[in-house]
């Protein structure tokens, strides 16, 4: 088995785990952001931003695992990781690493997401 096959297997396991986590968060109405518990009723923007970030990453990992072997799964993973952080930043207004949203993050994340889209469309 190649390294690519191991990564696809890892992506599949992570996608399944994140999907279970998203379902748990939706059922309980609670999630975690930067080691703090966030309730849907207490801070809905942060809650939905975090759940959306997890869902985007789970979808990207699943898509990356399902791509044909001829395509690299790395751009899909990059899109899910940084696209989810961009979603969380825009919905909650908080930096994915803590603190308020800054201009640097608002410039950096979309550029990385556009780079990932370009790599997926033009392999």
pTM (whole model) above 0.75 = yes
Q: What is the pLDDT of residue 59?
A: 92
Q: What is the pLDDT of residue 109?
A: 83
In our burial notation (b when 16+ CB lie closer than 10 A, e otherwise), range 17-55 reads: ebbebbeebeeeeebebeeeebebeebeebbbbbbbbbb
CA 108 to chain centre: 15
2 vs 50: CA distance, rounded Å: 34
Q: What is the pLDDT of residue 16?
A: 93
Q: Tens place of pLDDT for every residue, the chain, 123 residues? A: 788 788 888 888 999 999 999 999 999 999 988 778 888 999 899 899 889 999 999 999 888 888 777 777 778 888 888 888 888 888 888 877 766 777 777 788 888 888 888 887 777
58 vs 21: CA distance, rounded Å: 10
64 vs 103: CA distance, rounded Å: 30
Q: What is the pLDDT of residue 13?
A: 92
């Amino acid at each position: 088995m190649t390294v690519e096959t191991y990564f696809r297997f890892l992506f599949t396991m992570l996608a399944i785990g994140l999907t279970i986590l998203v379902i748990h968060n939706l059922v309980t109405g609670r999630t975690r952001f930067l080691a703090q518990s966030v309730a849907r009723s207490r801070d809905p923007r942060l809650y939905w931003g975090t759940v959306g970030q997890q869902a985007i990453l789970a979808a990207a990992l699943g898509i990356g695992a399902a791509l044909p072997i001829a395509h690299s799964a790395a751009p899909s993973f990059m899109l899910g990781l940084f696209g989810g952080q961009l979603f969380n930043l825009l919905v909650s207004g908080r930096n994915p690493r803590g603190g308020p949203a800054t201009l640097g993050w608002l410039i950096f994340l979309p550029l990385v997401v556009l780079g990932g889209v370009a790599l997926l469309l033009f392999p």
